[in-house]
């Protein structure tokens, strides 16, 4: 039996000015597949290949034809299987480390320009004065208009020590700003924390990366140290967390549940696609790594918890939310999650390339598949500061072409699938004039969570209410 490096994926892709979010897991054994080749179909393929080579209006390289054929085979299966060329494979490997050469800007697109969502603290962008809401209109002398977000991100990434000139439009400034930034090694902290009130901690996991478990332990110890006495309640914010490393999800869950509790299991056609992952060190630690969860503060296994989720919570985020919900360890609050319940395996195929292949479905401890359905919150709380599409009708797994069906019903899930027993909080007044939705309040540099965050405040109110009831 040959050995081949493999990686298991449970995440979605996100964009950062320096890296793409991705996932990775330890190597597992490969197997030799003995499958009879479809001779007639392969003959048809070679005939088409020859026709294109001979008759297409322009010469086409063999490499391009083969690459596109491979990509077509994979993309035709489901939304998450794909071919990774050399660059994409490198991006995937870099993203799991949470470290890259770049500027330190979280970005999106608006009206054809790159919009700054947030500069990362202590990065070149932060130090240069880049602010949330800034529009990047030029990269060096190249206009951003017409670029894809991927293209813009690639231009902003680069070798530490090299420079790039940004031309920025800012609402409060009449003339464009021209800033020259020197790229540096950017380290992304996937866990952020603060005390939102005396006795009440807040932890946000933005991605599940290689060091997320360690950073979570550091954050929790810090909250208890800053609070000086045991916490009365804890908010775990998984909103807009697209997923990442499977062992990161196990580590986060293990911090709050009893040892050896089932976190997630997977089912696939092959034996190595069938796994049962529990809250035990062998399922979240790397080889020879010390157990960073071993010395967490007493009381973390029982402190009242609320988990915040929304339609942007996917894959590894859903594993954590589903496990804590099934074990009745936390109240899940927010809106229905994305619904990505499949597992992808990264299979290197030589020459620095790989394929990302869907190999299994994962299930919560109680045997629920969330594929194309998502995690339903125990208490539905919509965000009044978000457009309506981000609350009840955003894009989810069920809306993607060729998505896998849920094995519970073997048919595509409906757009809305809210259980009758879900509690729905009364709607808050919509901010904004003339009934228009208001975009979420941008965080100030260094701010972890906005004091005007409606869902966070609802979670805090619930925890305070539980504390009052327990005190009676």
38-58, pLDDT tens digit by residue? 999 999 999 999 999 999 999
Q: pTM of the predicted model, to two decimals?
A: 0.78
Handedness of CA 283, 266, 337, 389 (dihedral sign): positive
Q: Provide the pLDDT for residue 317.
A: 95
3-state DSSP assignment of residue 70: helix
10 within 8 A of 345, measured Cβ to Cβ: no
Report the distance separating Cα 203 and Cα 192, nearest Å.
6
Question: In the prediction, which pLDDT does 461 show?
Answer: 97
Task: Give CA 412 to chain center in angstroms.
Answer: 23
Query: What would the two tokens of residue 99 be?
Result: 């470290």
pLDDT confidence tier of residue 103, bands split at 50, 70 and 90? very high
Name the DSSP letter for residue 464: H
Q: What is the largest CA-CA distance in the chain?
A: 83
433 catalytic, yes or no? Answer: no
- Assign 312 a pLDDT band (cuts: 50, 70, 90): confident
Under 8 Å between Cβ of 11 and 245: yes
Report pLDDT for 151. Answer: 82
**Annotated catalytic residue, options 261, 313, 315, 369:** 315
Q: List the CATH code of the domain at 191-342+359-471.
A: 3.90.226.10
Given the structure tokens 């992952």, which residue do they identify?
277
Residue from 340, 373, 383, 453 carrying the catalytic annotation = 340
**Listed residue (308, 234, 241) closest to 456, CA to CA:** 308
In this prediction, residue 400 has a pLDDT band, given cuts at 50, 70 and 90, of: confident
DSSP per-residue letters across 265-294? EEEESSGGG-EEEESSGGGTSPTT---TTT
**pLDDT above 70 (res 14):** no
Residue 370 confidence (pLDDT): 94
Q: Please check the confidence at residue 392 and state whether its pLDDT lies above 70.
A: no
Answer yes or no: 315 catalytic: yes
The pLDDT value recorded for residue 410 is 55
* CA proximity to 238, closest of 163, 168, 313: 313
pLDDT of residue 33: 47
- 340 is known as an active-site residue: yes
pLDDT score for 99: 66
Q: Kindly report, residue by residue over 138-197, the tens digit of the pLDDT.
A: 999 999 998 887 788 889 988 889 999 999 999 888 999 999 999 998 877 899 999 999
pLDDT tens for each residue of 419-458: 445 666 655 555 444 444 444 455 665 678 998 999 999 9
Per-residue pLDDT at 296 = 97
Residue 92 clears pLDDT 50, i.e. is over it = yes
Residue 27, pLDDT score: 33
Q: In whole angstroms, what is the distance from residue 370 CA to residue 327 CA?
A: 16
Other beta carbons within 10 Å of 284: 27
> Tell me, what's the pLDDT at 5?
40
Reference 131, options 160, 172, 102, 162; nearest CA is: 172
Residue 45's CB is within 10 A of a number of other CB atoms, namely: 12
Transcribe 284-351 into DSSP letters.
TSPTT---TTTTPPTTTTTS-EEEEE-TT--THHHHHHHHHHHTT-SEEEES------EEEEEEEEET
Domain ranges of the chain: 7-97, 100-187, 191-342+359-471
Q: Give the pLDDT confidence score for residue 239 in this predicted structure.
A: 92
Q: What is the dotted CATH code of the domain comprising 100-187?
A: 2.30.42.10
Neighbours of 237 (CB within 10 A): 26
pLDDT value of position 243: 86
Compare 329 and 407 and report the one with higher pLDDT. Answer: 329
Distance CA 334, CA 354 (A): 37
Catalytic residue among 134, 237, 241, 326: 326
């Amino acid at each position: 039996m040959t050995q081949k490096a493999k990686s298991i994926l449970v995440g979605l892709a996100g964009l950062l000015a320096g890296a793409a979010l991705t996932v990775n897991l330890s190597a597992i054994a490969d197997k030799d597949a003995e499958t009879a080749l479809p001779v007639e179909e392969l003959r048809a393929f070679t005939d088409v290949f020859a026709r294109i080579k001979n008759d297409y209006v322009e010469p086409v390289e063999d490499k391009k034809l083969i690459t596109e054929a491979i990509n077509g085979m994979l993309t035709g299966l489901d939304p998450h299987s794909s071919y990774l060329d050399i660059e994409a494979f490198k991006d995937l490997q870099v993203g799991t480390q949470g470290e890259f050469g770049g500027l330190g800007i979280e970005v999106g697109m608006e009206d054809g320009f790159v919009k700054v969502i947030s500069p990362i603290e202590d990065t070149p962008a932060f130090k240069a004065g880049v602010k949330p809401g800034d529009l990047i209109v030029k990269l060096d002398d190249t206009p951003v208009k017409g670029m894809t977000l991927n293209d813009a991100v690639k231009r902003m990434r680069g070798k530490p020590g090299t420079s790039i000139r940004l031309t920025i439009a800012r609402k409060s400034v009449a003339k464009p700003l021209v800033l020259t930034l020197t790229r540096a090694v950017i380290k992304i902290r996937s866990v952020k924390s603060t005390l939102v009130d005396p006795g009440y901690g807040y932890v946000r996991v933005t991605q599940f990366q290689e060091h997320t478990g360690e950073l979570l332990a550091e954050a929790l110890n810090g909250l208890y140290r800053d609070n000086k006495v045991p916490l009365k309640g804890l908010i775990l914010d998984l909103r807009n967390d697209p997923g990442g490393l499977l062992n990161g999800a196990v580590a986060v869950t293990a911090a709050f549940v009893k040892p050896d509790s089932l976190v997630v299991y997977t089912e696939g056609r092959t034996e190595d696609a069938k796994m049962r992952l529990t809250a035990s060190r062998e399922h979240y630690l790397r080889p020879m790594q010390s157990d960073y969860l071993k010395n967490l503060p007493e009381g973390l296994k029982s402190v009242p918890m609320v988990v915040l989720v929304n339609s942007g919570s996917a894959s590894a985020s859903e594993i954590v939310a589903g496990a804590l919900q099934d074990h009745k360890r936390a109240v899940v609050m927010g809106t229905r999650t994305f619904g990505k319940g499949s597992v992808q395996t990264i299979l290197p195929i030589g020459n620095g390339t790989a394929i990302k292949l869907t190999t299994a479905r994962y299930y919560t401890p109680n045997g629920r598949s969330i594929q194309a359905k998502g995690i339903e919150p125990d208490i539905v709380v919509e965000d009044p500061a978000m457009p309506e599409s981000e609350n009840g009708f955003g894009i989810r797994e069920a809306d993607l072409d060729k998505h896998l069906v849920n094995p519970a019903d073997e048919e595509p899930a409906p757009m809305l699938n809210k259980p009758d027993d879900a509690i729905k909080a009364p709607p808050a007044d919509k901010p904004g004039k003339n009934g228009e939705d208001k975009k979420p309040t941008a965080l100030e540099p260094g701010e972890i969570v906005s004091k005007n965050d409606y869902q966070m405040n609802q979670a805090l109110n619930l925890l305070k209410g539980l504390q009052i009831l327990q005190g009676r």
